[in-house]
């Protein structure tokens, strides 16, 4: 787990809310505090879909691509939010690919999710990585690889940060 402080908040907000930089991540949950507190549960409501539509849904969470416009609508305006927290995670497919790439011992059955916690408060954005394991794991090499992967991802997408 690492904590990163984003250097250019305005540029980052554009990347997460307007650009497609984070669109392939899934949305675990979102909380935004403006004049009221708004909460979004990213879990897919399977009762809303037809059985045919459900056949095309591979993950239990909605893509950030499908959620971000609602978050943008809540945030936009003359005043910035007092705070927000966005929790993103990798899709099952990307989690599986990451495990194959970096971990020889773990499978999808061992990992609940690879997370990215994005928190805004006091005009600062902090990003914290995390992994939720289904079982106790002594080997923390996947944690280190996930942390490094996020740094590479942010660098590639020109998100400037300082590691805390």
37 - beta bridge partners?
33
- Residue 137 has φ and ψ, to the nearest 5°, of -130, 125
- Write out pLDDT tens, residues 17-35: 999 999 999 999 999 999 9
pLDDT bin (cut points 50, 70, 90) of residue 68 is very high
pLDDT > 70: percent of the chain: 99
pLDDT on residue 113: 94
* Cα(159)–Cα(156) distance, integer angstroms: 8
Cβ-contact 101, 85 below 8 angstroms:
no
61 - beta bridge partners?
43
* Cα(23)–Cα(136) distance, integer angstroms: 31
pLDDT bin (cut points 50, 70, 90) of residue 56 is confident
Average pLDDT of every residue of the chain? 93
Domain count for the chain, please give it. Answer: 1
Q: Give the strands of the sheet with 124-133, arranged side by side.
A: 37-41, 26-33, 83-89, 111-121, 124-133, 3-6, 161-163
pLDDT on residue 30: 98
pLDDT on residue 105: 79
pLDDT bin (cut points 50, 70, 90) of residue 103 is low
**Residues for the chain: how many in total?**
164
- Reported pTM: 0.92
Q: Can you give the residue range of the structural domain that contains 152?
A: 3-163
Average pLDDT of the residues in 44-69 = 91
């Amino acid at each position: 787990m690492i904590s990163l402080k984003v250097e250019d908040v305005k540029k980052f907000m554009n990347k997460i809310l307007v650009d497609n930089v984070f669109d392939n991540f899934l949305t675990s949950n979102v909380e935004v505090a403006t004049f009221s507190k708004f909460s979004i549960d990213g879990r897919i409501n399977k009762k809303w879909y037809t059985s045919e539509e459900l056949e095309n849904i591979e993950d239990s969470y909605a893509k950030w691509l499908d959620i971000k416009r609602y978050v943008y609508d809540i945030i936009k305006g003359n005043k910035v939010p007092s705070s927000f927290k966005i929790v993103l995670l990798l899709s099952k497919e990307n989690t599986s690919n990451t495990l194959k790439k970096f971990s020889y011992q773990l499978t999808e059955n061992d990992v609940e999710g690879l997370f990215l916690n994005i928190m805004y408060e006091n005009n600062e954005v902090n990003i914290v990585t995390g992994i939720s394991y289904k079982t106790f794991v002594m080997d923390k090499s996947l944690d280190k690889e996930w942390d490094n992967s996020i740094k590479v991802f942010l660098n590639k997408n020109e998100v400037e940060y300082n590691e805390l």
